[in-house]
Structures are given as structure tokens and as C-alpha cells.
Amino acid sequence: MATPTGERKKKRFDRKQALSALRLNPGERTEEETYAINAAGGRAAAEARRRRAAMREVARTMLDTELRANDTLRHELEDRGFQDYTEAAAVLLAQLNRARAGDTEAAKFLRDTSGQRPADQLAIGNLDDRPFETLDLSALSDEDLNYLLEQRGGLGGDEG
């Protein structure tokens, strides 16, 4: 006669067998081994997150660094009337110069950085003839949604 504990052990064993069959390297691991592997993975992931955060902070610091007085890009920024003499402004100016020379990747970088990326701006004009049910409206701002409602004559309910 099977006990409830025995039935659970049987279920757990079947589950372990099923999981083992799904692994690329089949084999039984004890719970302690599995825990140790998962814990090591968690520690490695946390360390990678800390390294990425530190790199982001270093990048921010580098971009916020003031240009030297004798830097040619600083002089060019001054000549153009800019007040911001940071490395970030110099990078943008360098990208602008490359874009003006015909570098389309530099032009895309400037466009995207300035917030004019086409994927971010959903053209509302092409939505006017389609039923609301077929539209993915998650990318639209409240202003865009209100515009669509106005163009379609409101919600169509009992509004007074």
C-alpha cells in the first residue's frame, strides 16, 4: 500500500526523469548540485549586472566631461554658438560632420538620438481607414489616441 509520501516521491522521481530527458546532457543531479549550479548562475548574473551598471556610470562620466580649452571640437562648438562643451556635444558634432559628408549611419544616429526615429513616430494618417480592432495602439501617445478619436467622431457611445 502506497503512502502519501511515497506517492509524492514517485511523482518527484517521474518529474526528475522527465526533466532529465529534456536536458542536452542527461543525467541525474541531486537537489544540492542543482541548488549550487543555480546559486552560482545567480551570483554570476548579479556580477554581470554590477559590471554593466559600472560601465554605464563610467560612460556617463566620460560624456559629461568638459572639453579642454585647446580642443578643436570645442572651438567648433564655440563658433557655432553652443554653450555645452562636453564630450557628448563633441560626439554629436563629430557625427553631424560625418553625416554632412555623406555618412548615412551618422545621419541615422543623429536622427535616432534626437527622437525622430521612424519606429517611434507612428504615422496616424494610415490608421484612419482601418477598424480600431485591427490596430496595435500600444505605441501611440495619449495625444495620438485623442486625435484618432476626434477624427472618428468620438467614442460612439452615449456621450453628451
Question: Which region among 2-6, 31-35, 118-122 has the lowest average model confidence (pLDDT)?
Answer: 2-6
Query: 35 in a domain, yes or no?
Result: no
Same domain, 110 and 144: no
> Length of the chain in residues, anyone?
160
pLDDT tens digit sequence for 39-79: 999 999 999 999 999 999 999 999 999 999 888 889 999 99
Count of structural domains within the chain: 2
Same domain, 48 and 83: yes
Q: How far apart are CA 42 and CA 36, in angstroms?
A: 10
pLDDT tens digit sequence for 131-160: 656 666 677 778 877 777 777 666 554 444
Q: What is the pLDDT of residue 1?
A: 46
Q: 9, 17 in Cβ contact below 8 A?
A: no
